[in-house]
Structure 1
Amino acid sequence: MTDTAHALAASHTLWELVGRRAELTPDRPVLLQGDRRLTFGELRGRAERVAAGLYGMGVRPGTVVAWQLPTRIETALLSFALARLGAVQSPVIPFYRHREVGFALRASRAEFFAVPGVWRGFDHTEMARALGAKGVFEAYDDLPDGDPSVLPAPPADGTAVRWVYWTSGTTSDPKGVLHTDRSLIAGGSCLAHALRLSADDVGSMAFPYAHIAGPDYTVMLLLYGFPAVLFEHFALPAALDEYRRHGVTVAGGSTAFYSMFLAEQRRRPGAKVIPTLRLLAGGGAPKPPELYHRVVREMGVQLTHGYGMTEVPMITMGSPDDTAENLATTEGRPPEGMRIRIVDGEVRLRGEAVCQGYLDPAQTAQAFDEEGFLRTGDLGRLTDSGHLVLTGRLKDVIIRKGENISAREIEDLLHRHPAVGDAAVIGLPDAERGERVCAVVEQPPGAPALTLPAVTEYLRGEGLSVHKLPEQLEVVDALPRNETLRKVLKYRLRERFSA
């Protein structure tokens, strides 16, 4: 991290960070979207006017404001306006519907709710009213406006809880994760430190700004003073023109994004799909080692992958100066200040980027151990060089005839098979074995049909122990994924194939 970035990372609040960056480089762009651009100076100035408009509506320091908005310049302005006021923000992923949104509004006790109106064919305003939301207002194109002279002093305490993020609810209600300005700055600083970026880079946000990755990435822009291209709706190949137009040098999001970029590259062999691209980076889902090697070999770019979660936006990150072996097989190293402890195979965390807990005190009590370390539910180990290797999830351990089997180990081997595009391994109830191993795979176009005997023969050849071999194979057109970082939803596979 540069000296300037290091100094900025010491900012007490996000608003202080915005102001310090605006003083340094007021005319440099920070957000790019289509023909529009927002500079660091404009970010501060316009966010203050929006803050004044919100103040006129009755928003005060500590007021809970939920917002469910797509990835747009206006969304960033609204969020920083709320940070200027010291309000408590509750971002909601725009793809969530009545159940998740209703729960978030009730649990957070939101006093205002910003929505995009009709977006991608769905009427968010109508849903908000049907849910009985308070203070509903639309904030897609037009934002509240006012005279900044009416504003109270900006917040000074960066350790107060001002953010409620939501874990994705699958079979139960989502959890409200409590963050502070300082925990978000610490997470973004980890990302910035690891990626070794500069003011000459151009980044990209192809994920929902309402995801915890939104502030994580924005903090990095503020620390280094470079811009990012925003994608309100990301789809390839349609988005490629914007990447090329703005000369994006850093792209990514998660493992699924790497695969999508690689698929586009394979349609254009011999020419870089994005000429200026030099780095793919992301996290949020396991990265098969073979995918790393394919991206580097075929796309001619570096790939660095990290480890984070809603509770801790950035835990470890691969660095461009790591060895190829570490980049392929680990999640990188933690930054200074992040302590990782492995207890009975589980990864536990303590540091400034760790959340303050959950809205539900009972969930908080369960999540932290007696020494204040967050239980992640992830399994892993630390190498001699301090790199973290994730080996699976506690709930992804398949117990077959009393033997523990890691789904991640089998998935990584399957990804090496040329007839496998993507794979998910799950445990299914079995009267004789307790659980049986089921491999669910996507196949690339034109690949020969896979059979269970062929898959088990291949895995035997790769050295997989006999007791870990899949006893069931399912080939699907597409694995079910969420709408944020495109994580595979294994619970849906268990529901579908348990019978």
Structure 2
Amino acid sequence: MTGDTLWDLLVRRAARTPDAPALIQGAVSARDERRIAFGGLHRRAERVAAGLYELGVRPGSRVVWQLPTRIETVLLSLALARLGAVQSPVVPLYRDHEVGQVLRRTGAAFLVVPGAWRGFDHGAMAHRLAAGLPDPLTVVEAYDTLPEADPSVLPPPPADADEPRWIYWTSGTTAGPKGVLHTDRTLCTAGRWLADALRLGPSDVGSMAFPYAHVAGPDYTVVLLLLGIPALLLEHFALPGSLAAYRRHRVTVAGGSTAFYALFLAEQRTLPPGRRLLPALRLLAGGGAPKPPALYHEVTAELGCQLVHGYAMTEAPMVTMGDPYDSPEHLATTDGRPPDGMEIRITPGTGEVRLRGPVVCRGYLDEPAPFDADGFLPTGDLGHLTPAGHLVITGRLKDVIIRKGENVSAREVEELLYRHPDVADAAVIGLPDDERGERVCAVVEQPPGAPELTLAAVTAHLVGQGLARHKLPEQLEVLPALPRGATLRKVLKQELRERFGAG
């Protein structure tokens, strides 16, 4: 399967189960929902490809698109895959600065936006940006309509699954974002591995509550195409508003990242004992951010479903994933095992995780190759492998706080902070300090109604948990909400360092 293009997978699935539901566009009210079957997805995507072709999009054309999680977005992406265009998805929350960077760096000739969406006029932004570019830019507004035409005008679909035709962007939380080059092979392999790891069956109903412009978008699409199961799409994920759609369509698999688990758990706690938030839900799955072991036990006990967490990154969309049938200890304390074909190397001395395998990107756009002499990708993450082959991520290289010459793991302190009943989430950062080199600062988000935390209470809790005294925070900051990224809601630690570094 991994030698196929994304379009090949769609053609095969449409022929096999043309009438099976593929995508369900969720809405608050059932009458506003829409759906499309696999056969219709194939036919519409081919017509959209023809419409784009008539607009001038050709094999190899560079197209930036910035659209919410909608059926139309999936159709557009599949249509570009049918044409063999180079597509560069951008999450809808980005604005002039970020989108302008992407346009300039890709040299894109086309930009597809939703028009006015959630209070912001993306069309006006697109035309502002076009006016400042050296080359012409065709702007296409495609929220609920897409260009369509007779597919007879189309050239043959692309056959090379190894041609870089996808440019995804790293978060850029510590530096300028990098354009990550992917191929149909890297993304389709990641999707196949994910389908195998989650052990989904024909009765499952998935969900996409994350931005489809994230690298997980095509990976999850591959899961649907391989298994022939549907997914609920949510243009805007918010609780409790999104719960009706989850219940209506009896979603069995949900998730996205640690922040999503915590949001579902918080809603569960508003219900009377014994009443399940989502009765059909059997699996929460995701990755993209650290998962405190205590959160695993809370989710499984209170939400009544299994929780599997994995490790991935924009450069490698599927590295490890928990097995739903693994032991609670492994699921709580590790990030799962790699599939056959994924090589993980732990660098001696530093403990940095390095990767090699068919899902790893082909490099960065207009930047030097990031690989070491053996072809492994340095990740900047720290971790180790257990004797059973499970990966345990222990932090980031930049999250090692060096206080008076002693190393402090930010993640270790965060996991202990999470056990405090008055902490909903926590981020631990190192801040410049003339005396210590770096001081340990804990930034916490509290649950509604919790009494305000003090530094003394936090340190007493950590001492009670057995944390060494040289690792205790010397600064505490309480925020209404931790700043998070636009895709999988990862905490933006660089923003915290900039905000509190001068204190």
Percent identical pairs in the alignment equals 70
Check if 1:145 corresponds to 2:142.
no
Superposed displacement of residue 169, structure 1: 2.5
Superposed displacement of residue 183, structure 1: 0.2
Q: Which residue does 1:235 correspond to in 2?
A: 238
Q: Which residue does 1:345 correspond to in 2?
A: 351
Q: Which residue does 1:110 correspond to in 2?
A: 108
CA contact 1:70–1:232 (8 Å) conserved in 2: yes
Q: Which residue does 2:364 correspond to in 1?
A: 358
Q: Whole-Å Cα distance in 2 between the matches of residues 299 and 172 of structure 1? A: 38
CA contact 1:11–1:17 (8 Å) conserved in 2: no
Counterpart of 2:291 in 1: which secondary structure?
coil
Pick one of 327, 337, 342 that aligns with 1:323.
327
Q: Whole-Å Cα distance in 2 between the matches of residues 360 and 241 of structure 1? A: 45
Q: Which residue does 1:217 correspond to in 2?
A: 220
Check if 1:459 corresponds to 2:462.
yes
Q: Which residue does 2:34 correspond to in 1?
A: 36
Q: Which residue does 1:284 correspond to in 2?
A: 288
Superposed displacement of residue 361, structure 1: 2.6
Q: Whole-Å Cα distance in 1 between the matches of residues 392 and 67 of structure 2? A: 35
Which letter does structure 2 place at the counterpart of 1:165?
Answer: Y
Check if 1:301 corresponds to 2:329.
no
Q: Whole-Å Cα distance in 1 between the matches of residues 253 and 227 of structure 2? A: 14
Aligned length: 488
Alignment of 1:363-378 (within 5 A): 364=369, 367-378=370-381
Superposed displacement of residue 447, structure 1: 2.4
| 1:20-46 Cα shifts (integer Å, max 9, x gaps) | 111111110110014211111111111
Which letter does structure 2 place at the counterpart of 1:27?
Answer: D
CA contact 1:100–1:173 (8 Å) conserved in 2: no
Q: Whole-Å Cα distance in 2 between the matches of residues 313 and 10 of structure 1? A: 14
Counterpart of 1:295 in 2: which secondary structure?
helix
Q: Which residue does 2:67 correspond to in 1?
A: 69
Q: Whole-Å Cα distance in 2 between the matches of residues 475 and 284 of structure 1? A: 24
Counterpart of 1:131 in 2: which secondary structure?
helix
CA contact 2:173–2:493 (8 Å) conserved in 1: no
Q: Whole-Å Cα distance in 2 between the matches of residues 236 and 68 of structure 1? A: 24
Superposed displacement of residue 11, structure 1: 4.5
- Give structure 2 stretches of 5+ with no counterpart: 27-32
CA contact 2:355–2:379 (8 Å) conserved in 1: yes
Superposed displacement of residue 171, structure 1: 4.8
Q: Whole-Å Cα distance in 2 between the matches of residues 224 and 198 of structure 1? A: 7
Counterpart of 2:166 in 1: which secondary structure?
strand
Q: Whole-Å Cα distance in 2 between the matches of residues 360 and 57 of structure 1? A: 27
Q: Which residue does 1:405 correspond to in 2?
A: 408
Superposed displacement of residue 252, structure 1: 0.6
Q: Whole-Å Cα distance in 1 between the matches of residues 58 and 447 of structure 2? A: 53
Pick one of 416, 420, 432 that aligns with 1:417.
420
Check if 1:447 corresponds to 2:450.
yes
Q: Whole-Å Cα distance in 1 between the matches of residues 112 and 455 of structure 2? A: 50
Q: Which residue does 2:9 correspond to in 1?
A: 17
CA contact 1:111–1:135 (8 Å) conserved in 2: yes
Query: Structure 2 length as normaliser, TM-score?
Result: 0.96
Q: Whole-Å Cα distance in 1 between the matches of residues 385 and 174 of structure 2? A: 31
| 1:175-219 Cα shifts (integer Å, max 9, x gaps) | 100000000011111211111001210010001000011011111
Q: Whole-Å Cα distance in 1 between the matches of residues 335 and 194 of structure 2? A: 12
Q: Which residue does 2:29 correspond to in 1?
A: none
Q: Which residue does 1:226 correspond to in 2?
A: 229
Alignment of 1:387-406 (within 5 A): 387-406=390-409
- Give structure 1 stretches of 5+ with no counterpart: 1-8
Q: Which runs of 4+ in 1 moved over 3 A?
A: none
Q: Whole-Å Cα distance in 2 between the matches of residues 386 and 206 of structure 1? A: 31
Superposed displacement of residue 173, structure 1: 2.3
RMSD: 1.0
Q: Whole-Å Cα distance in 1 between the matches of residues 367 and 431 of structure 2? A: 33
Which letter does structure 1 place at the counterpart of 2:367?
Answer: P
Superposed displacement of residue 10, structure 1: 3.5
